[in-house]
Each structure stands twice: as structure tokens, then as C-alpha cells.
Amino acid sequence: MTVVYVIVVSMLVAAGALTLVRLFRGPDTLDRIAALDVFVVLIVGAGAVYVAFYQDVSNVALLVAFSLVAFVGSATAARLAAHRERHR
Amino acid sequence: MTFLDVASAVLLLAGAAQGLLGALGLVVLPSLLSRLQAATKPQTLGLLLILAGAALRVPFESAVTLLLVAVFQLITAPVIAQIVARSVYRSGAVRPEVLVVDELAQRLKRSDDER
């Protein structure tokens, strides 16, 4: 069973690395915002994999908080970027 | 190893594969709008599958909390995609000749006329 979790975590890490490539390469601010949002989703997914592996439910509430904070952050950044684009 | 463990493992694998697919699309696809597709749809499906796989292995109360995460993801992912896509459109990065229908242009034009 551990093999399954190793595969799952390595897939998530690979996905995170690819997302970081997009985050660094850009080329646009909006690209980076989209990449950052995907990255946060991957982190929440990794947290859920942790919960499943250790059957440790003490961190489940953190996942809720993290996804909500990520939403506020991404929405604010996207609005700021939109504002800047319009005044260019 | 029970049936629930196997089902959970299958769901986790499928979810992680979806996440990887979405990240791959984020790097490979050519334009910002198509990358936005890869950023929202596979990622949301992947997270839902992973959460379902995790929910099968924890007590019921924690599974409900995981369901809450899934609901928030389903609500927030389209909102962010909508804001970003509108910003992309406003910044003029969308080539109008590749679009079949452009409903946003008509709508923006109408709201400009009313002003």
C-alpha cells in the first residue's frame, strides 16, 4: 500500500515542479496568478494525501482554512492585475 | 487491506494523475486562455478525487470537513478563472479572429453604450 502513496506523492511533486516552471517563466502576471492558484490546489491535495496515509485528522480543518485564504489571495491578485492592465 | 483501502488508493492515484495532467497542460499549452482551462478543470477534478480517496479512510466527521473543502474548491475555482479570463480579454491578449462566438464583446459594447 505504501507504494501507492509513494507514486501519488511523486506525481503531485512532479505536478508542483511543472507549475513552478510556469510560475517562473510567466510571461504575464495573469499566468503567474493561474500557476499560483494551481500550486495551492496541489498543496491542499498533498495535505489530503497526508490525512489519508497517516489517518491523522487533526489537520483537516487547516485544509479548509488554506483553500479559503488561497481563494482570497488569488482573487485579490487577479483584480489588482486587471486594474493595472486597464490603466496601461 | 480492505475494500475501502483499495478504493481509496484508486481514487488517490486517479486524482494525482489528473493533477499532473493539469500541470502538464499549464506548461505545454500555447495561450493564456487555454492554460486557464488546464489550470481549473483537471485540477478541480483531481482535488475532488483525492479528497474522496482521503474521505474513505477517516471517520465520518472528518469526511464531512473534507467535503467542505471540495465544496469551497467547486465554488472558488470558477470565480478565479472568470476574473483572470476577463482580465486577459480586457488586456487584449485574445485574438478575435480565432473566436467563433464573442458574446463578451457585444455585452461590453452594450454597457459602454448605456454609459
Average pLDDT of every residue of chain A: 86
Instruction: Count other C-beta atoms under 10 Å from residue A50's C-beta.
Output: 16
- Provide the sign of the torsion angle of the four alpha carbons A33, A35, A38, A43, taken in this order: negative
Which among B23, B59, B83 is the nearest to A82, CB-wise?
Answer: B83
Query: Do residue B80 and residue A4 have CB atoms under 8 angstroms apart?
Result: no
pLDDT of residue B34: 83
Mean pLDDT of A13-25: 91
Q: What is the ipTM of this complex?
A: 0.86
Mutate to test the interface with A, among B5, B12, B73, B104 (most CBs of A within 10 A): B12
Query: Do residue A33 and residue B72 have CB atoms under 8 angstroms apart?
Result: no
pLDDT at A30 over 60: yes
Which among B17, B27, B32 is the nearest to A30, CB-wise?
Answer: B32
Confidence of residue B114 (pLDDT cuts 50, 70, 90): low
Confidence of residue A59 (pLDDT cuts 50, 70, 90): confident
Q: How far apart are CA A74 and CA A79, in angstroms?
A: 9
Which among A18, A31, A52 is the nearest to B8, CB-wise?
Answer: A52
Mean pLDDT of B66-92: 86
> Is residue A55 classed as helix, strand or coil in its secondary structure?
coil
Range of weakest confidence among A38-47, A48-57, B42-51, B87-96: B87-96
Q: How far apart are CA B47 and CA B105, in angstroms?
A: 33
Confidence of residue A9 (pLDDT cuts 50, 70, 90): very high
Written as one letter, the residue type at B56 is L
Give me the total of CB pairs closer than 8 Å, taking one residue from chain A and one from chain B. Answer: 163
User: How far is Cα of residue B18 from the mean position of the Cα atoms in its chain?
Assistant: 11
Question: Cβ of A64 under 8 Å from any chain B Cβ?
Answer: yes
pLDDT of residue A87: 59
Mean pLDDT of B82-92: 81
Question: Cβ of A23 under 8 Å from any chain B Cβ?
Answer: no
Query: Do residue A22 and residue B24 have CB atoms under 8 angstroms apart?
Result: no
Confidence of residue A6 (pLDDT cuts 50, 70, 90): very high
Which among B22, B51, B80 is the nearest to A48, CB-wise?
Answer: B51
Q: Measuring CA to CA, which residue among A72, A34, A45, A39 is closest to residue B69?
A: A45
Neighboring chain A residues of B77 at a CB cutoff of 8 Å: 37, 41
